[in-house]
Amino acid sequence: SGEGELDSPSGLAFDLDDNILVSDARNHRVQRFTKNGVFLSAFGGAGSGEGELDMPWGLTTNADGDVFVADWGNDRVQRFSSKGRFISQYGGSGRGDGQFLKPASVAVDTEGYVYVADWGNERVQVLDADGRFMQQLRGEATHSKWAEDFLGINVEEADARARANLEPDIEFFNDDPHEQSSHIEKLFWGPSSVILDPQGRLYVTETHRHRLQVYQRVD
């Protein structure tokens, strides 16, 4: 738990100076290193107050160098300056719009929109630059190029797939998103990481369905 020591590191990002930021999960902090591994600074600390962290997971930076941290145990996203000063926090525990349950990853696009892998709620939430809820993504998976090629030359497999009901009419007795995701193929099931490419496409990995989904923002 000393400077430069790590316990269950869970996320990586680069700052504007190409230093490495590490989510040091079990030490409840973020540490900064040079590319050669020399310790520079740390911020956070165990707790639930402003600027405190509980099992920080994914993290990213925006164009201004601010650091966004998925504060997993506190069900929120926190925003820090490039020097580690607390700026603001988004979210709180729950299933409602703008609330999180064990957020695992965060990404920020060039316009400041924030994308959060809301792992415990089986969704990705999109917030504006001020942290206001904009929309949620629940998953819209389709065949991959590999699957299309495979089914194109395997007639029996393609026929079985065509007969399968991938969106069964199931009566759910609660609003538990885990139950829904486990039965409906296209939905996210364990969205664990989000990242944006230079073209603004959003990539989402899913731990339980062993796949990733790709989204393009439409204005």
The pLDDT value given to residue 157? 73
Residue 59, class by beta-carbon neighbours within 10 Å (0-12 exposed, 13-18 middle, 19+ buried)?
buried
Which homologous superfamily is 9-140+186-216 in? TolB, C-terminal domain (2.120.10.30)
In the beta sheet, which residues pair with residue 163?
Answer: none
The pLDDT value given to residue 106? 99
11, 19, 18, 16: which is closest to 44 by C-alpha? Answer: 11
Which phi and psi (to 5°) does residue 194 adopt? -130, 145
Give me the residue label for tokens 């600390």. 45
The pLDDT value given to residue 117? 98
> Where in the chain are the domains?
9-140+186-216, 142-175
> What pTM value is reported for the model?
0.87
**Which are the contacts of 109, defined by CB distance < 8 A and separation ≥ 6?**
115, 196, 200, 217
Task: Name the packing angle between helices 155-163 and 145-153 (round to 10°).
Answer: 110
The pLDDT value given to residue 161? 61
The pLDDT value given to residue 159? 74
Which residues of the chain are under the pLDDT cut of 70?
141-147, 151, 158, 160-174
The pLDDT value given to residue 15? 97
Give the pair of three-digit tokens for residue 192: 């664990």
The pLDDT value given to residue 173? 64
The pLDDT value given to residue 212? 92
**Chain segment 75-103, per-residue pLDDT in tens:** 999 999 999 999 999 999 999 999 999 99
